[in-house]
Amino acid sequence: MTPQTALPNIDAGDPYNVQSRPLLVVVSGPSGVGKDTLLQRLKDVGCEFWFVVTMTSRAQRPGEVDGKDYFFVTREEFDALIEADELLEHSLVYGEYKGIPKAQVREALATGKNVVMRIDVQGAQKIKRIVPDAVTIFLMPESEEELIRRLTERKTETPEGLRRRIETARDEMRRIPEFDYVVVNRAYQMNDAADDIEGIMRAERCRVGRQPIRL
């Protein structure tokens, strides 16, 4: 009679429980590439995940909703969170702070759902250094011309601001090799990009050796 063998401990890399561990997914890419719209499309097609809302010190734009698009705080409030070490990462982008509150990420992971962040490229690399098991995805347009068209049609920038965003986007595109995955968000083909991201999350959740995310 074969003796019963105990299952390996989940924290030691239990192969029987790989899919029980939520992912920490970072979606990044240049301004205007469609990160927010794509994440909304994923929700619309039934992909379940907890979206972590970025905190920012910049002014709220018309149509933006506090707590949905961003958590809007004053520069003084943001400085206080930095001092208290209550941000997972933060950076200065276009003269304003952006960052991820630690408490929100811990709460999200505790639900057991995959946790998705939408942050800028430099923030994505900071998260990867802090949490090596985070899955980083770079979202890009099909061409630079298409990205410039999208940025121009938003009409949210001055000519100088638009020029800065285009130059920043070019610098960010050079950092694609630092990411785990790249997904092309082609104009009028967003469902394809959504399918790609959902497939990445499905495969990563099944990856052997995946460890629980700890912050």
In the chain, where are the structural domains located?
23-205
Query: In this model, does residue 130 exceed pLDDT 60?
Result: yes
| List of residues 6+ apart from 35 with CB closer than 8 A | 27, 28, 29, 118, 139
Task: Please provide residue 118's backbone torsions phi and psi, each rounded to the nearest 5 degrees.
Answer: -115, 105
The C-alpha angle with vertex 158 and arms to 138 and 92, in degrees rounded to 5, equals 50
Structure confidence at residue 181 (pLDDT): 98
Query: Which band of pLDDT confidence, cut at 50, 70 and 90, is reported for residue 19?
Result: low
CA distance 137 to 118: 10
Q: Taking all residues of the chain, what is their mean pLDDT, rounded to a whole number?
A: 86
Q: How confident is the model at residue 207 (pLDDT cuts 50, 70, 90)?
A: confident
The residues assigned a catalytic role are 61, 154, 165
DSSP structure class, residue 116: E
Confidence of residue 18 (pLDDT cuts 50, 70, 90): low
Reduced to 3 states (helix: H, G, I; strand: E, B; else coil), residue 1 is: coil
pLDDT at 5: 45
Query: What is the pLDDT confidence band of residue 119, given thresholds at 50, 70 and 90?
Result: confident
Tell me which H or E stretch contains 159.
helix 159-173
Question: In the prediction, which pLDDT does 74 show?
Answer: 95
The superfamily (CATH) of domain 23-205 is P-loop containing nucleotide triphosphate hydrolases (3.40.50.300)
Query: What is the CB-side half-sphere exposure of residue 152 using CA atoms within 13 A?
Result: 6
